[in-house]
Structure 1
Amino acid sequence: MNSQALKDSGPRQPSIAHAILAGLCASLVGIGLARFAYTPLIPSLIEAHWFAANDVIYLGAANLIGYLAGALGTRQLTRWLSARQTLRLMMVLASVAFIACSVPLSLVWFFAWRFVSGVAGASIMVLAATTILPFVPSARKGLAGGAIFLGLGLGIAASGTLVPVLLDLGLRQTWIGLGLVSLLLTAVSWTGWPNSVAAAAPNSEAGPAQSSAALKLVYLQYALIAVGFVPGMVFMVDYVARGLGWGTHSAGTFWVIYGVGAIFGPIGYGLLADRIGYGAVIRLALCIQVIAVIPLVLGHSALTIAPAVWVIGTFAAGIVPMVLGRVQHLLPADLCAQRSAWSRATTVFALFQALAGYGFSYLFSLSKGDHRVLFMVGAGAFVLALIAELGLLAFHRISPGTSREQGATRQT
């Protein structure tokens, strides 16, 4: 679809800029805030005696379980509602979930609403970009995808900046404040969702064998990336605070650094992808991630560890639009198949991230609290993801000589 499609397909269609803004708002509400804002609230939930310490950790898993359920159920939901209606509904549910959590009626009540926020996040992840990107010119899809998923990075940064400010008002007020912010973002995005374009029936299974095999490698790679994410995302704060002995204040500062990296990642990688292609960016990013682990394992200076944390943060949100771009390139001109494949990729990512969370927790205990072991295992997962990426080069649709993988394929 050309750049005029959004303007020519009817008066109800928003501008491309408004559609991208809607996607950014959705990713910020559904993932950025709904998932990452919970982490800095954990100490306050325990100190306020809302729940016991073990229950608070259990409630944190509710969002991940809901995310997996949402990734599995979104395709069925879109058979009943349009993508636009589903996205609006999920943003409202995520916003209401924040407000509902301001009243800790019971463990079940709280778990249910954290579960709902996870479902909403997964649905937004599956639908937002695949609803918007068909209307974006091919030469700008990387940048547009990065802008849509910028909300992930903004949410991580907000968890280290906005949440502490709200906590000064009180724990209940913090939940309500997050809900009001989310409702405001929902209102901004409400008319920004385009009508879905006509799509062919899914053909990802019935398509060429090369595309099918390449997609399986993409799923494998995304699963390995999910595993590699966990040490930095889950254990970084504890590593700085207790592993290095620098205290909770320094740990909060490093989490903000991680968040700033996550803000830069989607846009930076997106711009680069528009120039050299998604595959080249993924290969480069994976290599950099492996190198960035070295200061964490060997270094003891903030001057070396802070840049490494920033680099690791760029990958947290930046890799998402890159993998989506790869999926779209493998299934050109078939929106339905793209959405189906992206839903599977999101499901795989959610499953392996949840499994890795438990696995790394066990490894942390087994290693007697050695954070460096976790970082090395995470780097190993990135190395395996890089091997899978190199395997994708064997398929003619993905060539290292392709200047823009979202366009026609050029062999070298």
Structure 2
Amino acid sequence: MTPKTRLLIGGLSACAVALGLGRFAFTPILPLMQAAHGLDTQSAGWLAASNNLGYLAGAVWAGLIATDRGRHLAFTASLVVVAASLAAMSLTSAEWVWNLIRLVAGIASALVFVLGAALVVPALAGLGAARLTGVHFSGVGLGIILSGSVIAWAGGWGGDNAAWLTAGALCGVLSAASAWGLRHVHGSGAAGTSHPAPAPFSLGWLSAAYFCAGLAYIVTGTFLVVVVRATPGLESIANLSWVVVGLAAMPSSAAWALFAARFGFRLALIFAHLLMAAGAGLLAVTDSAIGAMVSALLYGGTFLGIAGMAMAFGRAIAPAHPARAMGMLTAAFSVGQMIGPVAAAFLADWGGWMPALLMAALVTLAGVPMLMFGRVSPSSGRS
């Protein structure tokens, strides 16, 4: 097996563990938890917020690990913790313990995702295969497909506990594959002293738009299966809609990178925001299977692209301080993720899922003018 193939297996598996399962296994299992334990919508929102708070803490922690050995140790340990945390959800029915477990899972997921990317992306560039970065991030879609198919099937057979144990087992297999694939990979060397000219755009406005995306995307990401299952006549396609999200997510990072290379980050992000808002709005009003599937396609096809483009745009805006730019963006996105599910749960309890999803659509749209008018210089060059 070539080093490039081993690297891609390790990276793809890491993304599947970190987000596809570590975060999003919760989405198809949530209806099972509601049925088995009477978990209400606001409690579900707080579980999602706990996980996202952990993700923020983990992302900050990852940025503080200074040595290559430390990054490898934290990465490997976090792979184990994510798998164990998923399985541990089956061991209790106490909501405060669930919140604690999801908090820990969020910390470990962020460490896997951030440190995994820090290992894989420079290594791909060093092998002359930077164009394959999208394959690395497609692992998120793979994990979502597994959660909507294998894990959902286990839940249908044995309830939420069987689903969580299956999630933990799948995560364990993928964690082993990731640790094997990346065991000899090291981060990039010292950065050079010269940097390209900064892109003429405000990092503050980009962070504000990314906050909007974080708040809105997590609403659909947390509740899509619940919403489809609650729509009369669509119960049987609820898990399938989540598989569609994963199928759309797998090629999305690479596709949006090509789009941004052609039209610039700003226009690409505007277009992606519009599509994601359309998906949330459609889910709010549709009662048809086609509408639900189109909504799933729009969501799956945009959320990873927005994340990847925002981070790349941030590096272009502050080429001399990329870590500072990515930290600012991650913080904004994470705060939005913590607010989103709690606000959506409150609105859902008040007026059903339509106002919650319309809120997500409107917040996504609020990011569009920020992207349109955030330029700080008329200098030439794509932004």
- Name the TM-score class by shorter chain: 0.7 to 0.9
The answer to whether the Cα contact below 8 Å between 2:200 and 2:377 also exists between their aligned partners in 1 is no
Contact persistence 1:98–1:175 (CA under 8 A): yes
Distance 1:39 1:20 in 2: 26
Residue 266 of structure 1 aligns with an amino acid whose one-letter code is S
Counterpart in 2 of 1:259? 246
Aligned to 1:147: 135
**Is the alpha carbon distance of 1:201 and 1:354 closer, same or farther for their aligned partners in structure 2, counting shifts above 3 Å?**
farther
Q: Does 1:178 align with 2:160?
A: no
8 Å contact from structure 1 (residues 19, 192) kept in 2 = yes
Q: CA deviation at 1:161?
A: 0.8
> Is 1:348 the equivalent of 2:332?
yes
Following the alignment from structure 2 to structure 1, what is the Cα–Cα distance between the partners of residues 378 and 175?
41
Which residue of the partner structure matches residue 189 of structure 2? Answer: 198
Per-residue deviation at 1:326?
1.5
Q: Does 1:31 align with 2:19?
A: yes
CA distance in 1, matches of 2:344, 2:193: 37
* CA displacement 1:344-389 (0-9 Å, x = unmatched): 32222111111122222233344x22x3333333232222222222
Q: CA deviation at 1:37?
A: 0.9
- For residue 225 of structure 1, report the CA deviation from its aligned partner: 0.8
| 2:105 alignment counterpart | 117
Query: In structure 1, what is the Cα distance between the partners aligned to 2:229 and 2:244?
Result: 14
Distance 2:123 2:259 in 1: 20
Cα distance between partner residues in 1 of 2:358 and 2:90: 39
**2:148 matched to which residue of 1?**
160
> Contact 2:78/2:111 (CA < 8 Å) preserved in 1?
yes
In 2, Cα distance between equivalents of 1:354 and 1:397: 36
Deviation, 1:122, is 1.7
Offset at 1:59?
A: 4.1
2 CA distance for matches of 1:342 and 1:80? 20
Q: Which amino acid aligns with 2:274?
A: C
Please tell me whether the aligned partners of residues 30 and 44 of structure 2 are also in contact (alpha carbons under 8 angstroms): yes
The answer to whether the aligner puts 1:67 opposite 2:55 as a matched pair is yes
Q: Which amino acid aligns with 1:355?
A: I
Larger proportion of helix: 2
Greater shift, 305-314 or 219-228, is seen at 305-314
What is the alpha-carbon distance in structure 1 between the residues aligned to residue 12 and residue 216 of structure 2?
Answer: 25
Q: 1:361 to 1:344 in 2, by over 3 A?
A: same
Deviation at 1:297, TM superposition (A): 5.4
CA distance in 1, matches of 2:97, 2:277: 41
Which residue of the other structure, out of 90, 94, 101, is the alignment partner of 2:89? 101
Structure label with greater radius of gyration: 1
Residues of 2 paired with 1:113 and 1:17: CA distance? 34
Query: Any idea what SS the aligned residue of 1:101 has?
Result: helix
The match for 1:388 is 370
Equivalent residue for 1:327, pick from 298, 310, 314 = 314
Name the CA distance, whole Å, in 2 between partners of 1:274 and 1:20. Answer: 23
Partner Cα separation in structure 1 for residue 12 and residue 297 of structure 2: 21
Residue by residue over 1:157-200, the C-alpha shift from the partner in whole angstroms, topping out at 9 and shown as x without a partner, is 22221112223256544433322322222222224332122234
In structure 1, C-alpha distance between the alignment counterparts of 2:313 and 2:52, rounded to whole Å: 24
Asked if the contact 2:49/2:339 (under 8 Å) is kept, the reply is no
- Cα distance change of structure 1 residues 362 and 237 upon mapping to structure 2, 3 Å threshold: same
8 Å contact kept, 2:266–2:372? no
Check the 8 A contact 2:202/2:375 in 1, yes or no.
no
1:67 shift after superposition: 1.5
Residues 1:32 and 1:299: Cα distance change in structure 2 (over 3 Å): closer
Please tell me the residue identity of whatever aligns with 2:236: H
TM-score, with structure 2 as normaliser: 0.82
Q: Which TM-score applies when normalising by structure 1? A: 0.77
Residue number among 269, 274, 296 corresponding to 2:256 in the alignment: 269
What CA RMSD, in Å, does the superposition of the two structures yield over aligned residues? 3.6
Deviation track 1:118-172 (CA, whole Å, cap 9, x = no partner) reads 101122333322332234449964x533222222222222222111222325654
The answer as to whether partners of 1:237 and 1:254 remain within 8 angstroms in 2 is yes
* CA-CA distance at 1:32 after TM superposition: 1.0
Shift of the 89–278 alpha-carbon distance from structure 1 to 2, 3 Å rule, reads farther
Q: Which amino acid aligns with 2:254?
A: I
> Residue 137 of structure 2 contacts residue 253 of structure 2 at CA under 8 Å; is this kept in 1?
yes
Matched residue type, 2:164 = W
Distance verdict in 2 for CA 1:397–1:130, change over 3 Å: farther
Gaps of 5+ in 2: none
Where do residues 228-243 of structure 1 align in structure 2 (5 Å cutoff)? 228-242=216-230
1:75: how far off? 2.1
Q: What is aligned with 2:274? A: 287
Q: Does 1:249 align with 2:236?
A: yes
Say which is worse superposed, 54-63 or 301-310, in terms of deviation.
54-63
Aligned mates of 2:233, 2:359 — CA distance in 1: 23
CA-CA distance at 1:63 after TM superposition: 1.8
For residues 230-280 of structure 1, give each alpha carbon's deviation from its aligned partner in whole angstroms, at most 9, with x where no partner exists.
Answer: 4432343344333x4224223333333333222332232234345444444
- 2:344 maps to a residue whose letter is F
Report Cα offsets for 1:60-86 as digits up to 9, x if no partner.
443223112212332234469533332
- Identity rate of aligned residues, in percent? 22
CA change 1:385–1:18 in 2 (3 A) is farther
SS at match of 2:151: helix
